[in-house]
Structure 1
């Protein structure tokens, strides 16, 4: 029975590698977002003379939005891989290794995730307010409600983290 238990535990431990294709998929998502970013930059520069100020601001906010999402994906990929799959030991001495890499736990990852979601939601809300003539009141109300929900959730996550004694 002990051998069966040991074999099961080894299989369970090895199953963490089933997450590796997920992280590879996130790399592909980064490529897709990079293409989208390039398309947005091209659009901004091709309409630089004809676009209004608010259209330019919305375009720049779209770029910021994509950059935030890409940064969030990097954090999720690095910290998720290191927390759940394998340590990146060969990269500890790499000159470009981010200082936070290897130090973000699951709790920190959740806080960063909700913080990024709130920021992304705020940017989308700001874009809607700048384009208020083309957005229905009902749609805008839903956006505000969802943003407030994300905001309250973020505060509650941070509060729970602090109450557990993990807050910095």
Structure 2
């Protein structure tokens, strides 16, 4: 009975595959949004003010960072939980693609979230005179600081764990 339960638990990891496939579809959704932003930036480049152009570029940077975060989650999650990914002799794969463990994933996730938060805050600063209230800006700064503090605490905890005697 115990072996059956263990086998069921091990096989259950495949239930995550639809989640990863859903994230692949979400990646294409981000691509569509990026292309829409790019098209808007190119077709309206001559009419944009400096601030509008910067906000448009920041929006594209934000979408790019988010897409990178989704790719990291897809590859590292699938590789660490579901099944090993065989590059099949493909040389153009980044070296990290199939080697991100949970510690590395944790660091990449926090760094990406902090970067996305910072870009969102920059966009808000660029729109400060138009649509962003001081309260909204305050919360954007607080959220960004929370992400940065979390990343710092995680780095300190990892440093202490690495320094701790093994065994």
TM-score grouping bracket, smaller chain normalisation: over 0.9
Report the equivalent of 1:94.
Answer: 90
Query: Are residue 131 (structure 1) and residue 131 (structure 2) matched?
Result: no
Residue 92 of structure 1 and its aligned partner are, at CA, apart by: 4.7
Describe the superposition over 1:69-108 as per-residue Cα deviations: whole angstroms up to 9, x where unpaired. 111111111111000000012x152122210022211011
Describe the superposition over 1:47-71 as per-residue Cα deviations: whole angstroms up to 9, x where unpaired. 1111001110110111111111111
Equivalenced residue count is: 162
Report the equivalent of 1:43.
Answer: 40
What runs of 5+ residues in structure 2 fail to find an aligned partner? none
Distance in 1, matches of 2:50 and 2:156, equals 39
Distance in 2, matches of 1:64 and 1:139, equals 21
Query: Are residue 110 (structure 1) and residue 106 (structure 2) matched?
Result: yes
Give structure 1 regions of 4+ aligned residues with deviation exceeding 6 angstroms. none
What runs of 5+ residues in structure 1 fail to find an aligned partner? none
TM-score (ref. length: structure 2) = 0.94
TM-score (ref. length: structure 1) = 0.93
Distance in 2, matches of 1:148 and 1:24, equals 32
- 1:69 maps to which of 66, 73, 78: 66
